[in-house]
Amino acid sequence: MTRVSVALLLAILASAMYLVAVQYESRRVFTELDKARSEARYLKTDFDRLQVEKRSQATPARVERLAREKLQMRQVSPGITNYLTASGEVAMPAHISTTTTAVQP
Amino acid sequence: MSRSIQYTSSPLLASRTPVWRSKFVVAAIALAFVGLCARAAYIQVFNNDFFQQKGEVRFARTLELPANRGRILDRNGLILASSVPAPSIWAIPEDVEMDAQERKTLATLLDIPAADLSKKLADESKTFVWLKRQVDADVAKKIASLNLKGIYQRTDYKRQYPEGEAAAHIVGFTNVEDNGQEGIELLFNKSLVGTPGVRHVIKDGRGRAIESFGETIQPIPGKDLQLSIDTKVQFLAYQKLRDAVISNRAQAGSIVVLDTTTGEVLALANYPSYNPEKRLNLSGAQLRNRALTDTFEPGSVMKPFTIGLAINSGRMSPTTVIDTAPGSVNITGATIRDSHPHGALTVEQVIQVSSNVGTTKIAMQMPASEMWETYSQAGFGQKPQVEFPGVVSGRLRPAKTWRPIEQATASYGYGLSASLFQMVRSYTVFSHGGEIIPATLLKTNEPAVGLPVFSALTAAKVRKMLQMAAGPGGTAPKAQTAGYSVGGKSGTAYKQVGKGYGSEGNRKYRSWFVGMAPIDHPRIVVGVMLDEPSAGKYFGGEVAAPVFSEAVQQTLRVMGVQPDIAIRPQIVADMVQESF
């Protein structure tokens, strides 16, 4: 009888220790999860921030300025544009059939 | 057997302790246990909630999960406004411990004078002081790495506007709390702001979350909003407008570009504008969204509606001849003049040379109520269906109150008022087969459903007249643009100076142009307005039409519309002065 009691006591002690260990582990893991979550949040907002930054580096205003000043480009006009039709033909602007010329008074 | 306890067998040491004393001690201890049990029961059973709560307060924390404000995107999904984290730095002055070197570093990082920083931290009785709100994320990181005692950060969000001043009036801005204050930001504030969530956690002694409990409510982020604006068109329109305002030394200007198939606003810009991210010392002039909030008499822009009504009702045809000689007409004692006498004109030519006399003669053959109805259907005097902070409806008095002279002046656009936006929208009557379509600031892929004002045939006839007005011999040949056929109507008006309209040489003008392109199958309607051009030129056909020309060309190019006319090396420019 005493032997059984001692065994049970030991078993209880062991399970109690195990419980403590598991509890500790679960808290540690939870902390890690929490950290990872806030890291994820941070990365998400950082992604948004970088997207805005990327966009502000590519605004028409900036592109236009750099094209003009650094690359000496000029604005396109229909006069220097080739228009591709769906059939693949290249329509030169100067050759467009003029069904609608300006009406003369 | 004596009535006492014997502690020893030696009679010498025997004490005569009465039995009741030991019993008393036992009873006292038992009572103490009963007391403990009662207390335990009280804590565990009867008043459990109270103690649970007190315990929780000491280790449980309720954390707010912030919800991001939705982004504002253009029609192609490019960002017009987005919130980025911008931590605010705060301090508890009493706890701050910094040496002179650290103080200097912090001041440099915060970009404030060291003296200001010291002043903020001087009052130790305060428990909370903002050092600087909304600093850059990089700066915040550096400050955090300094590990200063008593200096803390709070995550705030700052709105960023990559397009800056080009789209400022349409997008608007938010305040430091990330709430909309102007423009789309204000109008759609409700759907842009999200709902923050909450979560409950237990924290340990070192402040780490170790367990969550209770219900976690996930944050609902604000909805992204996609506008009809095209950033490229918007920028080009703004740029051309700005250049024109500066070169004409005008007070201000507005431009509106409308897609006539869907009713989407592709661009809406005003100058002067402002940078929505740096709003110090903003003036009202910069903030005003003139295209929507400023009304003026539409002038000649109204004439196509009067003529359209005459044609639509079968009273006239484009070739009907009207005698405008001698360049003036008398209506109940008042004289209406053309700036140049034109003689006999066809109805088409009345529009082409913008004859007040011709328009008046046509208008006087029609009942005022019909004119009023047409103008109202075209949106004049009506509340614009586009909701926007500060939007105005203009003024159109009921036809019953019109005297004959008022009917005459209304026919060529005086005695009523409208915003540039209203005028642009009204011209969809001519560009959308006689129907006026609702305008929208939000992206839509559906073709707009219009309300008929004129027949499609009438609309086509008026378009031809508008093309003549923007062609050689018209009032605004400078509206022409390489590759695309255009049509439109210019307008010029005296602005009130004091009590009158100013004397010769001291007049102030407002000039505008509203037109469409390509003229046979219009894709866009563009309106341009310049306020007080004062560099010599002031006719709408001279100051506003060139802006229209450039805006049309660039917009149609961005939209991928193929040119419909051959490229001409030079644009013809022999123009007729229009009438006021």
pLDDT per position as a tens digit, B559-577: 888 888 877 544 445 556 6
Say what the pLDDT of residue A97 is.
40
Query: Is B393 designated active site?
Result: no
B208 to A34: CB separation less than 8 angstroms, yes or no: yes
Say what the pLDDT of residue A100 is.
38
Q: Which residues of A touch B79 (CB under 8 A)?
A: 51-52, 55
Q: Inform me whether the C-beta atom of residue B473 falls under 8 Å from chain A C-beta atoms.
A: yes
Q: Judge whether residue A89 has pLDDT over 70.
A: no
Q: Which residues of B touch A56 (CB under 8 A)?
A: 160, 162
| ipTM above threshold 0.85 | no
A93 to B566: CB separation less than 8 angstroms, yes or no: yes
pLDDT in tens, B24-45: 999 999 999 999 999 999 988 8
Q: How confident is the model at residue A42 (pLDDT cuts 50, 70, 90)?
A: confident
Q: Inform me whether the C-beta atom of residue A96 falls under 8 Å from chain B C-beta atoms.
A: yes
Q: Which residues of B touch A46 (CB under 8 A)?
A: 85, 137
Q: Which of B48-52, B124-128, B135-139 has the highest mean pLDDT?
A: B48-52
Say what the pLDDT of residue B112 is.
85
Say what the pLDDT of residue B40 is.
93
Say what the pLDDT of residue B488 is.
93
User: A99 vs B490, which has greater pLDDT?
Assistant: B490
Say what the pLDDT of residue B192 is.
92
Query: Span B219-245, mean pLDDT?
Result: 93
Catalytic residue from among B300, B417, B490, B579:
B300
Residue A97 gets which letter from DSSP? -
Of chain B, the percentage scoring pLDDT greater than 70 comes to 95
Q: How confident is the model at residue B432 (pLDDT cuts 50, 70, 90)?
A: very high
Query: Span B132-148, mean pLDDT?
Result: 84
Contact B566, B549 (CB under 8 A): no
Q: Judge whether residue A12 has pLDDT over 90.
A: yes
Q: How confident is the model at residue A103 (pLDDT cuts 50, 70, 90)?
A: very low
Number of residue pairs across A and B with CB atoms under 8 Å? 118
Q: How confident is the model at residue B366 (pLDDT cuts 50, 70, 90)?
A: very high
Nearest-CB residue to A49 (from B84, B471, B553): B84
Contact B421, B440 (CB under 8 A): no
Separation CA B304–CA B374 (nearest Å): 11
Query: Span B67-90, mean pLDDT?
Result: 90
Measuring CA to CA, how many Å separate A43 from each of A35, A46, A53, B196, B480? 12, 5, 15, 19, 51
Say what the pLDDT of residue B577 is.
61
Say what the pLDDT of residue B1 is.
47
Determine which helix (DSSP H) or strand (DSSP E) holds A55, and give its type and residue range: helix A2-57
B47 Cβ contact list (under 8 Å, min separation 6): none
Name the phi and psi angles at B371, rounded to 5.
-65, -45
Separation CA B173–CA B254 (nearest Å): 19
- The DSSP annotation for B190-223 comes to HHHS-B-EEEEEEE-TTS-EEEEEEEEEPPBPPP
Q: Judge whether residue B280 has pLDDT over 60.
A: yes
Sheet of strand B524-531: strand arrangement: B265-271, B252-259, B524-531, B508-517, B487-495
**If contacts are CB pairs under 8 Å, which of residues 335-374 in chain B contact chain A?**
349, 352
Amino acid found at B451: L
Say what the pLDDT of residue A104 is.
35
Query: Span B367-395, mean pLDDT?
Result: 87
Q: Inform me whether the C-beta atom of residue B68 falls under 8 Å from chain A C-beta atoms.
A: yes
Q: Judge whether residue A7 has pLDDT over 90.
A: yes
Q: Which residues of B touch A77 (CB under 8 A)?
A: 482-483, 553, 567
Q: Judge whether residue B448 has pLDDT over 90.
A: no
pLDDT in tens, B401-421: 888 888 998 998 888 889 999
Say what the pLDDT of residue B5 is.
64
* B295-296/B487-495 β-pairing: unpaired
Q: How high does pLDDT run on average in chain B?
A: 87
A52 to B520: CB separation less than 8 angstroms, yes or no: no
Say what the pLDDT of residue B572 is.
47
Say what the pLDDT of residue B496 is.
72
B130 Cβ contact list (under 8 Å, min separation 6): B88, B89, B90
Q: Judge whether residue B425 has pLDDT over 80.
A: yes
Query: Span B302-323, mean pLDDT?
Result: 91
User: B107 vs B463, which has greater pLDDT?
Assistant: B463
Q: Judge whether residue B281 has pLDDT over 80.
A: no
Q: How confident is the model at residue A23 (pLDDT cuts 50, 70, 90)?
A: very high
